[in-house]
C-alpha cells in the first residue's frame, strides 16, 4: 500500500523445523533488521504448529499465539496481497520488503564466534554455546521477545505452585524416537546416576523433568518419587511416535499424526518447558534446542551434558566428523 512505500520491512517466515530452530533464526533476523534499519514482521503459518480450530487467537499468524508482535505493523495491512507458499514460505511482490526464512549456521561478523554452527560437545556450537554466546543470544531475547500473557501466566502459575522457595534441578530428557540419538547411549541410566549424585549435595531439591514421553517421566518418578515435578504438557505413551519415520520426513509426519497434538499448543508446551528449565538452579540435558534456549533465557543457569555419543549417534545427527560440508 502506498502509505508504507517509504518504509523498509523484513518479513520473517517459518521453516519446516522445530520450534526453537525457528525461534533462533528469528533472533538472527531481528538483529539483522535492526542493523539494516528495517521494520521486522514475523509471520508463522502452517506446518506442525499450525493453529487448530479449538485454539482461538486473532488472525492466522501463529507467532501471536506465543509472543507479542515485534513491531506495530501487521502483514495483512502492509502487504494485503501476500501469498502463502509451502510450509510458511511467503511471496510478497514489493521492492521495500525482504522475506527471510533460512537459519544461518555461521556467526556474523558482529556476533561472537561459533554461536550458530552445528556440532556436539566438546565443540563450541549451538548445542554447546560459550558463555559469551549465551549472553549474546540472551540479550537478543531480552531485547526483542515478549511472551504473551496467556503463556506467561501458565509459567508463573507453575513456578508459584511448585518451584518458589525450593532448590530445583532441571532435567531435559528427549523421549521421542526422532531425537533418540541426540540422547546418546543408554541415557536413562546416565541421568539417574547423575541425579542421585546431585541430590547428595542438595537432598531437599526438587527435580523438574521436561520430557514429551510418559515412559521417560515414569522412570524418574519410580526412583525419585514425589521429588519429581513436571508441567502439564503433551507426552506420548512410548517412544514410538515417529518410529521408522525417515528423519527428513519427521516434521511432515508430526503435522499429520493423530497421536500427536500438533497445533500451536504443542509449540506452547515446548516454550513452557524451556522457560521453566531456565528458572531451575541447575540443568542436566542432552542435545536439544529446547535446553539450548533455556541456557539463553537465563545465561547464568549452570548446566551440563549427561549424554555420551556412539559413532552411529554422531552419524545420525550429522555432527562431528559426519557434519555435512557447506
For the record, the C-alpha cell of 125 comes out as 556450537
All structural domains of the chain with their residue ranges: 2-100, 149-312
Instruction: Give the closest residue to 84 by CA, choosing from 57, 52, 46.
Output: 46
Q: Which residues pair with 171 in a beta bridge?
A: 209, 284
- The hierarchical CATH code for the domain 149-312 is 3.40.50.11350
DSSP H helical ranges for 225-310: 250-256, 263-278, 289-297
The predicted model scores a pTM of 0.87
**How does pLDDT run across 112-122, given as a tens digit for each residue?**
999 999 877 77
Contact 81, 93 (CB under 8 A): yes
pLDDT in tens, 200-243: 999 999 999 998 888 889 999 999 999 999 998 877 665 544 33
pLDDT tens digits along 34-86:
999 999 999 988 666 666 666 555 567 889 889 999 999 999 999 999 998 87
Amino acid at each position: 500500500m502506498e502509505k508504507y512505500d517509504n518504509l523498509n520491512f523484513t518479513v520473517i517466515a517459518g521453516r519446516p523445523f522445530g520450534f526453537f530452530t525457528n525461534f533462533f533464526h528469528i533472533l538472527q533476523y531481528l538483529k539483522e533488521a535492526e542493523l539494516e534499519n528495517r521494520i521486522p514482521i514475523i509471520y508463522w503459518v502452517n506446518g506442525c504448529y499450525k493453529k487448530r480450530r479449538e485454539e482461538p487467537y486473532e488472525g492466522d499468524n501463529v507467532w501471536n499465539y506465543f509472543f507479542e508482535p515485534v513491531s506495530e505493523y501487521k502483514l495483512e495491512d502492509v502487504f494485503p496481497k501476500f501469498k502463502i507458499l509451502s510450509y510458511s514460505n511467503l511471496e510478497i511482490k514489493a521492492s521495500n520488503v525482504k522475506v527471510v526464512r533460512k537459519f544461518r549456521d555461521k556467526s556474523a561478523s558482529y556476533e561472537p564466534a561459533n554461536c550458530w554452527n552445528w556440532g556436539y560437545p566438546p565443540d563450541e556450537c549451538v548445542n554447546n554455546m560459550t558463555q559469551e554466546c549465551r549472553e549474546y543470544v540472551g540479550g537478543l531475547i531480552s531485547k526483542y521477545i515478549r511472551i504473551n500473557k496467556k503463556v506467561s501466566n501458565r509459567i508463573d502459575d507453575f513456578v508459584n505452585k511448585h518451584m518458589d522457595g525450593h532448590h530445583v534441578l532441571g532435567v531435559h530428557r528427549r523421549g521421542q524416537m526422532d531425537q533418540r540419538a541426540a540422547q546418546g547411549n543408554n541415557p536413562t541410566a546416565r541421568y539417574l546416576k547423575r541425579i542421585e549424585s546431585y541430590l547428595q549435595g542438595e537432598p531437599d531439591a526438587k527435580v523438574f523433568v521436561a520430557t514429551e514421553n510418559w515412559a521417560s517421566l515414569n522412570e524418574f518418578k519410580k526412583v525419585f518419587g514425589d521429588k519429581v515435578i513436571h508441567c502439564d504438557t503433551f507426552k506420548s505413551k512410548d517412544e514410538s511416535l515417529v518410529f521408522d519415520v525417515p528423519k527428513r520426513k519427521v516434521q511432515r509426519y508430526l503435522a499429520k499424526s493423530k497421536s500427536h497434538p500438533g497445533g500451536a499448543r504443542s509449540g506452547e508446551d515446548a516454550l513452557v518447558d524451556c522457560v521453566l528449565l531456565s528458572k531451575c538452579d541447575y540443568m542436566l540435558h542432552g542435545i536439544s534446542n529446547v535446553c539450548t534456549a533455556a541456557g539463553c533465557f537465563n545465561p547464568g543457569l549452570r548446566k551440563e551434558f549427561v549424554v555420551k555419543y556412539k559413532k552411529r549417534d554422531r552419524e545420525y545427527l550429522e555432527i562431528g566428523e559426519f557434519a555435512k560440508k557447506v
